[in-house]
Structure 1
Amino acid sequence: MHKIEELKIWKKSIKLTMLVYQLITALPSNEKYGLISQIKRSSVSIPSNIAEGAGRNSNKEFKHFLSIANGSAYELHTQLILTIELGLISKEKVQPVLDLITEVQKMNYSFQKSLETKISILNTQS
């Protein structure tokens, strides 16, 4: 098990979620139950799945939850692109959040690879 407070990727994804919540205040209120709701869910899903994986008993399970978090990051990225394409918010306002999503995705990929290496080492020792 990993302490989530010590995981850089978890801290970064918490920051991402906070930025997303700040960003969506600029969206029209008629999107409250549509796109805004989806954006909130996918942004919260990222640190939540990292935390759930950290609390699991094996690196294999942790890697699985990191994969789910990565899917949520791609979902969030798509939803934010939609806000731009639909003219709901400017690209200038969204771009810093998109950049942070990309950073979290890269961290996630690297972390999954390191867990994969640990899993392989443990399997060869068995």
Structure 2
Amino acid sequence: MSREVRSREVEIQRSKEKATVRTYRDLNVYQLSYKLAMEIFRITKKFPKEETYSLTTQIRKSSRSVPANIGEGWAKRKYENVFLRHLNDANGSCE
């Protein structure tokens, strides 16, 4: 078994152990979407200047929308339909 596979198994076991979620920032999906949004921002800095107000802006806006909708959905989680709508919006921003 490779070191990477064993490392991943340890990660999975640890994530099962810490099941307490106090804020949306504790959600793995939020953390991943936030990291991806930051990475997208970094990558789009290299886009041509003529794309700044079209493609670049749209990509950045869409990537920021994912963690924002997850956070907003978490805040409204006691209203299941609102919570699900925000998660659906976050998913839609990924496509």
TM-score of the superposed pair, with normalisation by structure 2: 0.72
Equivalent residue, structure 1, for 2:94? 73
Higher relative contact order (CA 8 A, sep 6+): 1
Identity across matched positions, percent: 34
Unaligned runs of 5+ in 1: 75-126
Question: Which ranges of structure 2 fall in alignment gaps of 5 or more residues?
Answer: 1-21
**Poorly superposed stretches of 4+, deviation over 3 Å:** none
Which one of 57, 65, 70 corresponds to residue 45 of structure 1?
65
Q: Note the aligned Cα RMSD (angstroms).
A: 1.2
SS at 2:53 equivalent: coil
Q: Which residue of 2 aligns with 1:8?
A: 28
CA displacement at 1:58 relative to structure 2? 2.2
Normalised TM-score (structure 1)? 0.55
| Secondary structure, counterpart of 1:33 in structure 2 | helix
**Aligned-partner Cα distance in 1 for 2:45–2:81:** 38
